[in-house]
Amino acid sequence: MAVSTTGAGSLREAAAARLRIARLWPAAGAGPSAVALALSGLRGLLPVVFAIAVATTVGRIGPVLRDGAPQAQVWWPLAAAGAALVALQLAEAAQKAVGERLGRNVDGHMYRRLIQASLSTREITPLEDPAVLDELGEAGHELRFAFRTPGAAYAGLIALVGPYTQVAGFTAVVAVVLDPWAAVAMLAVVLLFRHGQRGGLRRYARVIRDVAALRRESRYLRRLAMGPTAAKELRVFDLTGWLTGRYRDVYRRSLDPVWAERRRIYLRPYLVYTTVGLVGVAAVLALSGVRAADDVVDLAALALVLQAVMALIRLGEFYPDSDTQTQYGMNAETAVTAFERAMAGHPEPADTGRAGPAATTAPAIDVTGVRFGYPGAAEPVFDGLDLHIPAGQCTALVGVNGAGKTTLVKLLARLYSPDAGAVRVDGVDVADLPARDWQRRIAVVFQDFVRYELSAAANIGFGAVEHLDDRAGIRRAAQAVGLLDTLDALPDGLDTLLSRAYDGGVDLSGGQWQRIAIARALFALYHGSTVLVLDEPTAALDVRAEAEFFARFAELTRGRTTILISHRLSSVRLADRIVLLDRGRVVEEGSHDQLMAAGGRYAAMFTLQAERFVDDEPGRDPAVQRVG
């Protein structure tokens, strides 16, 4: 009973998988799908026509040679066989071309689904869930390989029509020419072998999905070894031996269960399948010989039966145009669907319709009783944080690493939602505002800002993407950060690609890239943003460049609500208000002079940084030297 239940479950699973593939037809296109279906059916019928024509030719050779029958009796079926063969080759070529188009249509649709799901939330919390990342990594990996994509699965499903049409045709030939029971026996052999092939492939595919996390790690290690990102450190720290060993270990651990399952699936069962198949085929061939010896079937019929039997044996084997594609291609579809469901588990808050701060007004921001912790962390980052950020002023956040400064920025930008408490903008909880509207009001220079492999103009203009054609504004932002002359001197000026991976592209220094990021935020300010957040904005700048930047800082941010994060306490002295965070709480706040006069922890930290440097240049405040 268990075997029956398992078999029924396997059939239901196979039927459900094929139904999921078939449902992709709107993305593939009705017209190309109909053409591919017709070509596949033709590919199934033509081998049967060829076999009948060849058998007819064989049957007529004897009368022509022995009785002097007209030679046309041989040439016409032979010509039909040749025509069927030529038509079969043309149909195969045409179906591959149409299948390629179907695959591209479907895969484009799947990539759109994957991208839309990735960008479906304004918060980034789900993209930091390991389970969600496993699904995303698996889907992205499978979509990169042509024989494993949903598009290949769809084209492969249509291609299945051909061989199964052949199975039906040759089974009918055996039934009509030899014996119905012989046809049943051959059909059983074909289906038995097909069950072994596809059932084994299904179980094998499940194991591959079970090791998705290991496969993701192995892909990461491979990229690390072959990419430029870690090339310097791998050599300087002599990590090449460790990396190759780690990759070998992870790759082997991902393959061991796959190999074990493959042996279990394919070795012993196929001994049984082969034995049963040999018995069935031998019985049919023996019956054919007996019928021929008794003159029940003539030479033409015998030739046709033998061709049908051999074709059916071949049709019980692996279908290279369909089997791998329809099985593994749907792994990607499954991963995309699972990723979509995971992202759907983090829906956007409903738009309450409440009005936010005026678009032209620099708002005040209040953090009230905020509690927040990262998933899996032992302790929360914030547990009851209260903080006031005045409107139109510069507030600096300082503190040791882990104090929660960058996390607070992500909460302000609605990339995370607090577990408790609220972040309010002019008295309105940001959770009650459409996230897109609020995020368009806040310009952020993240500590790990993005270096887009696009033009310099695009890298700056992405601060307000709907205003990318504002070249004057882009040049103004570049000028404000002291980078315009450098960009104008590039081979194509602002249109130069900022990546050496492309012909004519160039790369910038770390400090120049940081200026690009600041210019991007300034461009956002030019087009409506009223809150500016700078997270370590001068970390990659030298002392002179930092001093020049902060000399213009007040002018650049005048009238904006500005939040400045920096480990260099010399950088925050000009802020209207300085807040010292420690373990997720405000421990000191005030102006630089007030905090220095209080002689508390801020004063001690500032003095310690200043005393660590020797003033090498007369007249320079040692506090402006970089902390090393």
Sequence-ordered list of residues with C-beta below 8 angstroms from that of 320, at least 6 positions apart, any chain: none
Residues of the chain with pLDDT under 70: 1-11, 13-14, 64-69, 71-72, 145-147, 199-200, 202-210, 212, 265-266, 346-360, 540-541, 543, 547, 551, 612-628
pLDDT number for residue 166 = 93
pLDDT number for residue 173 = 93
Task: Supply the Cα-derived Rg of the chain in whole angstroms.
Answer: 35
State how far the Cα of 527 lies from the Cα of 531, in Å rounded to an integer: 12
pLDDT number for residue 49 = 94
The secondary element (H helix, E strand) that includes residue 345 is none
pLDDT number for residue 67 = 64
State how far the Cα of 345 lies from the Cα of 326, in Å rounded to an integer: 28
> Which pair of structure tokens corresponds to residue 269?
């069962």
Whether residue 185 contacts residue 211, with contact meaning beta carbons closer than 8 Å, is answered with: no
Sequence-ordered list of residues with C-beta below 8 angstroms from that of 312, at least 6 positions apart, any chain: 167, 170, 171, 174, 186, 187, 189, 190
pLDDT in tens, 253-295: 888 877 777 777 667 777 787 888 888 889 988 998 888 888 8
Mark 496-513 as b/e (b = at least 16 C-beta within 10 Å).
Answer: bbbeeeeeebeebeebbb
pLDDT number for residue 184 = 93
Distance of CA 191 to the CA centre of its chain: 36
Domains of the chain in sequence order? 17-344 (1.20.1560.10), 363-441+571-628 (3.40.50.300)
| Reduced 3-state DSSP string for 488-513 | HCCCCHHHCECCCCCCCCCCCCHHHH
Can you say whether the dihedral through the CA atoms of 602, 603, 604, 609 is positive or negative?
positive
